Structure 1
């Protein structure tokens, strides 16, 4: 695959799939060859919109299409386990949208299946692939702000979302945490890793999903991370990381920033700007390029979005839901100790 274009299949025809496909068709080394939906009409309409040659009215046909190098799964996240698992079982490589699955148990099943099949698997955590976020992380790892003491991140939408909306539907994995909170949690764990303890509070809807959640993640180093997400209040959507020798502030849209500011003792604030050559701020092309790079290199995972990191984030999300009392239909009870979920053998 080192020289050829990478052939993509798109599983789902919703807004996220459309956004990703629009960015994908702009990449000269990518080719979108097939799309699948639960209905033939939806797949056909999507295919015509983006000039995709094959449209399937079922997921199985896409999973069996041997002309597809990698499938992008963009279904509602309650279906991620089924959709990604179907593709992996058929021998396809997979890029699966965030949150990776509903819970860590499902995530572990997908990772185990990918490793058993020798297939590539990656969570579509575009934030981790963003060049400016990568630069910020490199500065932190190089000691630019000393030892990390705390991380803060928030992601909130003003809403309100009506009870019938998917964000409030337990059957679809609704709630602020999985849709929005995955970003602040992932940001914190990008810099600090998996917490040793989790405390959390939430405001729940009548349907039993979280409308607003705040969590405090504690680390054995003594560091703390404060994360917040909301479906009932528009927040700054900002983040900061404070160390023993300085601080980095990432303003509005920390998950796809156009700038961040480094503050160090005795020095003027230093602003780092996104390189226009990297493309639009909200482009999903960075994660697509990383997938294609890994496939050409024969890798089954990405060092930018490692599967072990994805599993760690899912364990933290499980722990937060355990603390606030959110469980989705059909979920089995899980044993959660501190921030680490113990999955029964």
Structure 2
């Protein structure tokens, strides 16, 4: 495709889809072509706001549109596999919102189908594409302050309790771990790799989903203390304690942010990064490039990373006794 316009379709018209569309319409040689929601009225309203060419009240109608070059899946977690498979079976490249699916078995099925259909598939873990996050990982990899010995990462906010909201609905994959705990977990995996041992405990809402989750990843020479919660606002920082200093991604660490470097003498340096979008533009531009190059897998957010992430989340869920039917 080279520099041809990538015509995007979005399945799901909720809050995350709106953020994605906000950034998508700022990107050269890409446009929001189609939006599909469970109701045509909602799809049309979304389409009018973000200048989509067409709106559908049925997901399959979007998938059958021959003008769609790529699809972003923004439906609740429990539908990710179903909607990904729908697109892949029609040879449409898929950028699927995190978590990729509900468990390792589902993720492996999605990847297997993508390989069979030779069609691009990627988990939309947007954080890994953000300049500040990549900068922090590079400093850790180069041991700017020596070896990493401890990570502290949290993510917490207090949504209004509503049993019908996807955040609290077990049938939709609700709970703090899969929705926001995935980010501290991803920070640990990205900087320290898979842990040797996991400890976790959680509290639960009456609906059966976790209201908060406290996790410890144990490594041979390091420790990661991670937390997710729907019970209170937290600083939402990622603090990497190294042998000779601290690399701190300031709140909110998973989205465009700044970095504080603190050496062993207490001297501080603030690193800032220019961002003209909400931050989703980086993963979108990467995905567009993969399409133009005819790739079927990202070299940054690889299948291996997605498998590592969902495998770890499965192990945490096992620790806290959280099962999804």
TM over 0.5: yes
1:59 Cα offset (Å): 1.3
* 1:299-332 CA-partner distances (Å, limit 9, x unpaired): 2222221221111111111111111111112xxx
What's the offset of the Cα at 1:111?
1.2
SS at match of 1:211: strand
Cα distance in 1 between the residues matched to 2:200 and 2:48: 46
Residue aligning to 1:279:
276
Q: Distance in 2 between matches of 1:10 and 1:274?
A: 29
Map of 2:13 onto structure 1: 13
TM-score (norm 2): 0.95
Are 1:74 and 1:96, in contact at CA under 8 Å, matched by a contact in 2? yes
Name the counterpart of 1:182. 182
CA distance in structure 2 between the partners assigned to 1:95 and 1:129 by the alignment: 14
Report SS of the residue matched to 1:167: coil
C-alpha separation in 2, matches of 1:89 and 1:265: 54
The one of 294, 297, 313 equivalent to 2:293 is 297
Q: Is the 8 A contact 1:250 1:257 kept in 2?
A: no
Whole-angstrom distance in 1 between the partners of 2:10 and 2:164: 27
Aligned to 1:332: none
* Separation in 1, partners of 2:226, 2:76: 23
2:221 aligns with: 222
Q: CA separation in 1, counterparts of 2:159 and 2:91?
A: 40
| Partner in structure 2 of residue 326 of structure 1 | 322
Q: Distance in 2 between matches of 1:186 and 1:294?
A: 23
> 1:23 and 2:23 equivalent?
yes
Q: Deviations over 1:42-100 (max 9, x none)?
A: 22222222221122221112222232111000001111111111101110000011111
Aligned counterpart, 1:73: 73
Partners of 1:160 and 1:33 lie apart in 2 by: 33
Report the CA distance shift for 1:41/1:159 in structure 2 as closer, same or farther (over 3 A).
Answer: closer
Distance 2:64 2:228 in 1: 38
- Answer whether contact 2:136 2:249 (CA < 8 A) is retained: no
Please state if 1:172 is matched with 2:172.
yes
- Equivalent positions of 1:52-91 (< 5 A) are 52-91=52-91
Unaligned runs of 5+ in 2: none
CA distance in 2, matches of 1:193, 1:66: 41
* 2:118 alignment partner in structure 1: 118
Question: For residue 100 of structure 1, what is the aligned residue in structure 2?
Answer: 100
1:173-214 per-residue CA deviation (whole Å, 9 max, x = no partner) reads 111101110111011111112222211000012221100100
Q: Is the 8 A contact 1:37 1:58 kept in 2?
A: yes
The equivalent residue for 2:251 is 252
Alpha-carbon distance in 2 for matches of 1:69, 1:33: 9
For 1:43 and 1:162, how far apart are their aligned partners in 2?
24
CA deviation after TM superposition for structure 1 residue 140, in Å: 1.2
Q: Which residue of 1 aligns with 2:237?
A: 238
Distance 2:36 2:159 in 1: 31
SS of residue in 2 equivalent to 1:110: helix
Instruction: After TM superposition, give the deviation of residue 267 of structure 1 in Å.
Output: 7.4
- The answer for the alignment partner of 1:307 in structure 2 is 303
Native 8 Å contact 1:161 1:231 kept in 2: no
Aligned-pair CA distance for 1:160? 4.4
Q: Is the 8 A contact 1:101 1:107 kept in 2?
A: yes
Q: Structure 2 CA distance, aligned partners of 1:26 and 1:78?
A: 30
- 2:260 corresponding residue in structure 1: 261
Once the two structures are TM-superposed, the CA of residue 25 in structure 1 deviates from its matched residue by 0.7
